[in-house]
Each structure stands twice: as structure tokens, then as C-alpha cells.
Amino acid sequence: MLGNKVAVITGSSRGIGFAIAKEFAQNCGATVIMCSRSIKQSEKAAQDVGKNAHAMRLDISSSSSVRAFIANVLSRFSRIDILVNNAGYHFDKKIWYKPFHEVTDKEMGAIIDVDLKGSIRLSRAVIPAMIKNGGGIVISISSTPAISGHTEGGAYSIAKAGLIAMTKHIALEYGSKNIRAYTLALGNIRTEATFDSMNDAQKKAAEQENAMKRWGEPDEVARIAANIASDSFSFATGNTIVVDGGSVFL
């Protein structure tokens, strides 16, 4: 489905990013670049995925790291066909549960710098290569509170809402260059960062939030991302696709 494509998946050392890289490489034939701030963890992840997976270091909060990363990918693989903006600021309970007006500028800035500006940095950096190659796909991983709002995690919702606007912008400005863009707005997906950080009562409560009464699996997100990146979606762009077991409806 994605044979001969080169895909960059940010934050693919674990969790949802890892599942996307695995799906793209093992089941769809793409060459995947697996990256995070830890080259060790990225190398381990690429080893676990096996053939078609390559590890690199990338810190999306640093413009110089993004520049060096893109130059490295292009020198080794000559092209980037797919970018998945998946990397996100780690779940920090201290900031998440603070009232919005008490979150400091520094805390607000740190979340926006990774969850929004990091994806902007990467997207802007890959666009010239995509234009040169005759097109590409940018998928950004957002979250349902970006659409519905939430009583907690204001900085996160604001940053993730920005991704929806970025997707629409890329779709409109670069559609004529054959670049398509999508946002995946996720509900509760079972990863270390979420499921494993909750107590049993919180896990149960999260399960009850959607029509299917269960957590989503990273593999389910990965298969949707693979379909979107394929030619099956050739005449759809700018879309927000909600993946939450039926809770937030557009």
C-alpha cells in the first residue's frame, strides 16, 4: 500500500508513533524513519520493527535539530513522502490538573512548543522536499479535546487545536502541489503515557466515555493512518478524522 514511500514518524520510539511505524514498515512496505530525543530508544524501536526501519535522533522543539534531521533523511533516502506529526509533550499531571489561570507562561510555552510548534517546524521543513518530489502527505496527531474542549489540560487542548488549523492551511495552500493533509483527533488510546499512568477507577471511567465502552489500541490508529496515507484517500484533504470509539461527533 505504501511501497517505495519514505515516511517520517515523529515520536516513534514508543506508543502510537511506534505502532504507526510498525504498520507502515511491516504491512505496507514503506521505509520508515523512527525518531525521538533518545537515539538509543529509537534504535531499539527500529530494531523491533526490523526491515525497512531506520533510527535517527530528533528534538522537534529545536529548529537546529529539525534542520539537521531533514538534511540527514534527504541525504540518505533522497525523499520524504509522508510525515506523521505524532510526537507530543509528555503527560505532566502537575500542569494538566492546574486551573488554566494558574498555568505559568513557561509551562504553557513548553507544551505549545512541542505539541504545536514542533509539528509546525517539521511540516514546514518537509514541504520543499515534497514539492520537489511531486507531492506528499502530512498527518498530524491531535486529540478530541481540541474539538470538544475539556475541563482540564487547557494548554494541551489549545496546542492540539492549532494542529487542526495547520492541517487546513497546508491542504489549501499546497493542494495544487499534490500535498494532502489530515488531522487524527484521538480519544483514549491504550499507551504507557495514558493507560499505564492511571489507577483502576480512572481507567474504567475513561472506558465509559465512548459508545464502544473500551480503550482504543495503538494498532487501530496505525491502520487508519496507513489508509489515509495511501491512494485510497486521493481526493480527500484537510479533514479531521475522529478516532475515539464514538464520543465526539463532527
Smallest Cα–Cα separation from 85: which of 41, 118, 42? 118
Is 31 a binder of ligand NAP (CB under 6 A)? Answer: no
**What count of other Cβ atoms lies within 10 Å of the Cβ of residue 101?**
6
Is residue 245 near ligand NAP by the rule CB under 6 A?
no
Task: Point out which span in 48-56, 82-90, 120-128, 130-138 binds ligand NAP (CB under 6 A).
Answer: 82-90
State yes or no: residue 48 binds ligand NAP (CB under 6 A). Answer: no
158 close to 113: Cβ distance less than 8 angstroms = no
Listed ranges 7-15, 47-55, 69-77, 229-237: which one lies at the site for ligand NAP (CB under 6 A): 7-15
Place of cell 494548554: 155
Residue showing the smallest CB distance to ligand NAP in the complex: 15
Backbone angles phi, psi at 195, to 5 degrees: -50, -50
H helices then E strands: how many in the chain? Answer: 10, 7
Residue nearer to ligand NAP on the CB measure, 71 or 193: 193
Whether 143 and 194 have beta carbons less than 8 Å apart is answered as no
Q: What's the closest the beta carbon of residue 89 comes to ligand NAP, in angstroms?
A: 6
Find the part of the chain contacting ligand NAP (CB under 6 A) among 70-78, 94-102, 171-179, 188-196.
188-196
Site for ligand NAP in 204-243 (CB under 6 A): none
Q: What is the DSSP string of 183-204?
A: EEEE--B--TTTGGGS-HHHHH
Give the contact letters, 112-151, x = binds to ligand NAP (CB under 6 A), - = no: --x---x----------------------x-x--------
Catalytic sites, residue numbers: 156
Q: Minimum CB separation from ligand NAP for residue 100, in Å?
A: 18
Q: Is 186 in the site for ligand NAP (CB under 6 A)?
A: yes
Nearest to 5 by CA among 39, 32, 36, 30: 30
Site for ligand NAP in 84-103 (CB under 6 A): 86-88, 90
Contact set for ligand NAP, span 54-73 (CB under 6 A): 58-61
Tell me how far apart the alpha carbons of residues 26 and 53 are, in angstroms, rounded to a whole number. 9
**Total of chain residues touching ligand NAP, rule CB under 6 A:** 30
Type of residue at 197: S
Which residues, including other chains, have CB under 8 Å from residue 166's CB and lie 6 or more apart?
116, 119, 120, 123, 140, 181
The residue written with cell numbers 505496507 in the block is: 28
Count of other CB atoms within 10 angstroms of residue 160: 26
Contact region with ligand NAP (CB under 6 A), list: 21-29, 37-45, 168-176, 225-233: 37-45
Note the residues at the interface with ligand NAP (CB under 6 A). Answer: 10-11, 13-17, 36-38, 41, 58-61, 86-88, 90, 114, 118, 141, 143, 186, 188-189, 191-194
